Structure 1
Amino acid sequence: MELLELWKKHLERTRSERTTITYVNAVKSFLKRVSTDNPLEVSSKELYQYADLSELSAASLLTHFSAIRHFYKFLTRRGFLPKDSFSEIEEAIEDIKEDYGLHTLYRKPKALEKSQLERIFQKVKGSKYENIYRLFLYSGIRLSEYKSLRPEHFFLDKSGIYWIHLPAEITKRKKERMAPLIGPSREETYRFTEGLSRFLENYEDTLSVNAASLQVYTNRLSKKLGFHFSLHSFRHTYITNLINQGFPAELVKEFAGHANIKTTIDIYYRFSPERAKAVVENFLKG
């Protein structure tokens, strides 16, 4: 394939011989499994299928998806692949890494710190991006799910908070999911709920933006602020907040839409003396 050869020459100039051979073989292995002869027509569905049907070890699977991401990033930068197509591929790869616990091979997913969130929201204050970032932060949705999100997917329960109801056809695993829109504290949750009620009345103007443009904007903001974060960082923060607030693993699994509870526990549940103390104190209050 001409595109593969072009990428290979790039690797030979920028990477070691060992990395070049490993990456090229990984992408060739992937492309043999897809339903098209044109690598530009590969869909996110085929990435998930490659992971699900693979007999590779976790470490090898991580290497393969790192190579695949690099290949498609190269094609995007050279103008062969549209940016929104690469965004879809990149989001799928991040989801796969999370589902299979591949992040744990090199780092734990990092929740945003309070000071980082303050700096982010200070920069986007009063804009549509403030509303959208808070939606990601309070719901834990994936970018791929956000693209199909509509006002009818939200509902207000008797306790006065919103839930998000994602039908099977727009979720990654094609499994229906419901999750509460919850923030770091009760006060922030109700404050967001009040704002969301207004935003849903004018959804297109307050909460809707092209997914590829959103990702590009976020990448640029991350560089401007001087610390790394992505849309997926808000998801990590949402899940971490649930855990810190004492939600059990089986509920966090369902709210996050993980394929199995092992993913939830292995990636997110780490011992925290502060959380342990809070759980004991809550028990004693009862």
Structure 2
Amino acid sequence: MELLELWEKHLKRTRSERTVLTYTNAIKSFLKKLNTDKNILEISSKELYQYADLSELSPASLLTHFSAIKHFYKFLTRRGFLPKESFSEIEEAIEEIKEDYGLHTLYRKPKALERKELEIIFQKVKGSKYENIYKLFLYSGIRLSEYKNLRPEHFFLDKSGIYWIHLPAHITKRKKERMAPLLGPSREDTFRFTESLEKCLENYEETLSTNAGSLQVYTNRLSKKLGFHFSLHSFRHTYITNLINQGFPAELVKEFAGHANIKTTIDIYYRFNPERAKSVVENFLKG
């Protein structure tokens, strides 16, 4: 427990007395749920998900607990006790949990990337493996935890000429099989991506595969360099937003995104958009 004591000492120097008490109680509660024989540095996304699923805390308290957990492991990473790649995986898992439980709605809505932001990002990574990987995240809505176990055989081309991704239950977060179409913001974008993906799949390891932790670290650094915030999860938010803007109903978006509850899909992503409303009415009148 020396690491916990070191962190508490740091908190007392940098945070209010109330925050110190709240954060330390949150971490102690979390660690108590772990196997007593487990090294606290060997935390995995599985333990984080289990903590959320089994918790009887209110949404606000659960958000506070995960803020404390993130702060604790970020502190250990900065002090050299935990590899940056490991912290990146912890951070990604926490963001996914916040999304699934609607915790983001307590303080902010997830932000889809704007077209100009996407242009800046892809211009920066043009011609590199990261261009292919970022487009895969953007057009599939896949999570980082799912990407780690993704293989070429999980892709298939349908009769309409677009790719779908088939995620077996054992690689999804909820252990539920999922299928999702690889779609962009427009028909033209989608078919351009389909053509490029077909070539990438011929040499998957060279064009689409990389270490998940390193990918997260690279993305964090690129975000800071470009001067605006985005993460791998931002591509997922953009994918879901594009589906909604194209008129897909909530029950389909839920399945494509792999949300546990349709309430998550509706509460977080379905906001009134005058342009979308006009488009839906016009399509209805066409017939």
- Give the equivalent residue in structure 2 for 1:70: 71
**How big is the alpha-carbon RMSD for the aligned residues of Structure 1 and Structure 2?**
0.8
- Give the equivalent residue in structure 1 for 2:9: 9
Q: Tell me the CA shift for residue 36 of structure 1.
A: 3.5
- Give the equivalent residue in structure 2 for 1:269: 270
Deviations 1:202-258 (A, max 9, x none): 011111111111111111110111000000000000000000000000000000000
- Give the equivalent residue in structure 2 for 1:242: 243
In 2: Cα distance, 1:70 partner to 1:146 partner: 25
- Give the equivalent residue in structure 1 for 2:223: 222
* Residues 250 and 266, structure 2, Cα contact 8 Å, conserved in 1: yes
* Residues 44 and 88, structure 1, Cα contact 8 Å, conserved in 2: yes
Q: Aligned to 1:165, what secondary structure does the other structure show?
A: strand
In 2: Cα distance, 1:49 partner to 1:121 partner: 36
Q: Which amino acid aligns with 1:25?
A: N
Q: TM-score, normalised by structure 1?
A: 0.98
In 2: Cα distance, 1:171 partner to 1:85 partner: 19
Give 1:69-108 correspondences, 5 Å limit.
69-108=70-109
Q: Tell me the CA shift for residue 42 of structure 1.
A: 2.2
Q: Tell me the CA shift for residue 92 of structure 1.
A: 1.2
In 1: Cα distance, 2:248 partner to 2:44 partner: 35
- Give the equivalent residue in structure 2 for 1:187: 188
In 2: Cα distance, 1:125 partner to 1:247 partner: 30
In 2: Cα distance, 1:39 partner to 1:285 partner: 60
* Residues 36 and 42, structure 1, Cα contact 8 Å, conserved in 2: no
Deviations 1:23-61 (A, max 9, x none): 111000111111244211222111111111111110000
Give 1:173-184 correspondences, 5 Å limit.
173-184=174-185
- Which shifted more, 79-88 or 161-170? 79-88
In 1: Cα distance, 2:182 partner to 2:253 partner: 13
Count of paired positions: 286
In 1: Cα distance, 2:217 partner to 2:75 partner: 16
Deviations 1:249-279 (A, max 9, x none): 0000000000010010011001111111110
Extract unaligned runs of 5+ from structure 2.
none
In 1: Cα distance, 2:224 partner to 2:94 partner: 22
Q: Which amino acid aligns with 2:117?
A: Q
Provide the identity percentage: 88
Q: Which amino acid aligns with 2:216?
A: Q
- Give the equivalent residue in structure 1 for 2:209: 208
**Is residue 123 of structure 1 aligned with residue 124 of structure 2?**
yes
Q: Aligned to 1:155, what secondary structure does the other structure show?
A: strand
* Residues 133 and 234, structure 1, Cα contact 8 Å, conserved in 2: yes
Q: Aligned to 1:164, what secondary structure does the other structure show?
A: strand
Q: Tell me the CA shift for residue 180 of structure 1.
A: 0.3
Q: Which amino acid aligns with 2:177?
A: E
Q: Aligned to 1:258, what secondary structure does the other structure show?
A: coil
Q: TM-score, normalised by structure 2?
A: 0.98
Deviations 1:164-195 (A, max 9, x none): 00111111011110000000000000000000
In 1: Cα distance, 2:43 partner to 2:199 partner: 39
In 2: Cα distance, 1:63 partner to 1:186 partner: 42
Extract unaligned runs of 5+ from structure 1.
none
* Residues 134 and 235, structure 2, Cα contact 8 Å, conserved in 1: yes
Q: Tell me the CA shift for residue 136 of structure 1.
A: 0.3
